[in-house]
Amino acid sequence: MNLAENRIVKALAKLSDEKRKGLLPYVTAGLPDLATTERILAALGDLGVTAVELGFPYSDSIADGPTIQSSFTRVLDRGIHVRDILAMVERFRRRHELPILAMLSYSIVYRVGLDRFIADAKAAGIDGFILPDVSFEEAPDIAARVNDAGLCLPMLVSPASPPERRRQIAALSTGFVYYMSVTGITGERNALPPDLPANVRELRSIARRPVVVGFGISTADHVRLVCSVADGAIIGSALVRRIMEAQDGGATADGIVQTAADAVREWMKGLN
């Protein structure tokens, strides 16, 4: 499969052609259950999001803040496994073309085996991976094998990354470059760093591919600020929190799906 045919690549190219920006929400797979996750994905696709990051729960994640870690605990306590998540994606893919990026620890991939995991994920309908705990030194071989399968591997650039390292990461990334608005872990924040616009402009000038910003984005105003300089925004913890609050409040599956859709609809106002 040619990378040009990848759903992520095509979706971002379409945004560029139409001079629009994108929203890429993050959803924890299996929260509150896989059937509801599948319905949330369908609802977000109907809203017109660019793609969804699908988080694979892991007991020892390193980049995820307390909200997403809490969601992981809930899912893992229910005994949901990688194979169950991929089976859900495969069911979803029979009816929907929404691009899906799997965000997960490389420990999961390593345990399964890189080539087998790539093959299984591709067969299920995954379009790429975000592997936040892969070192830059390990990344070239992993990226080559992911890309050979026609899947994307966006890589993370930290505000603390030196200029030369940013160039190297951008050159290795496929699909887009993932710029972290802050150094550290994911989570909602009241304000984004003042140097974010300048850092994103600099990264876009050297990346030669779309730049999408995540970490700390939680309001339509944040999305508006980010998308004034970047190609898209990622919202994770704020969406996961609302899903868990709806679950804790006794909402039905219909109510949880509606809660997720309402939140994303509000954030999408920042794209206008």
pLDDT of 156 > 50? The answer is yes
pLDDT of 38 > 60? The answer is yes
CATH architecture of 3-15+22-154+220-271: Alpha-Beta Barrel (3.20)
Classify 113 in phi/psi space as left (phi over 0), alpha (psi -120 to 50) or beta. Answer: left
Structure token digits, residue 209 = 């591919």
Q: What is the mean pLDDT of residues 155-168?
A: 92
Which pTM value belongs to this model?
0.94
Pick from 6, 62, 74, 70: nearest CA to 34: 74
Query: Each residue of 180-196: pLDDT tens digit?
Result: 987 554 544 556 778 89
Q: Where are the domains of the chain?
A: 3-15+22-154+220-271
Q: How far is CA 202 from the centre of its chain?
A: 22
Catalytic residue among 38, 64, 127, 231: 64
Classify 216 in phi/psi space as left (phi over 0), alpha (psi -120 to 50) or beta. Answer: left
Structure token digits, residue 126 = 């995954």
pLDDT above 70 as % of the chain: 94
What was the pLDDT predicted at 91?
Answer: 98
pLDDT of 14 > 80? The answer is yes
Pick from 159, 161, 160, 109: nearest CA to 130: 109
Rounded Cα distance, 221 and 190, in Å: 11
Catalytic residue among 5, 46, 53, 120: 53
Query: Each residue of 96-111: pLDDT tens digit?
Result: 999 999 999 999 999 9
Structure token digits, residue 160 = 């603390």
User: Which range has the worst mean pLDDT, 57-66, 135-144, 206-215?
Assistant: 57-66
Long-range contacts of 208-211 (CB under 8 A, 24+ apart): 208/170, 209/170, 209/173, 209/174, 209/175, 209/176, 209/177, 210/12, 210/15, 210/16, 210/175, 210/176, 210/177, 211/176, 211/177, 211/179
What are the CA-CA distances from residue 133 to residues 60, 130, 138, 205 (Å)? 11, 9, 10, 26
**Catalytic annotation on 53?**
yes
Structure token digits, residue 208 = 């030669």
Q: What is the mean pLDDT of residues 145-169?
A: 95
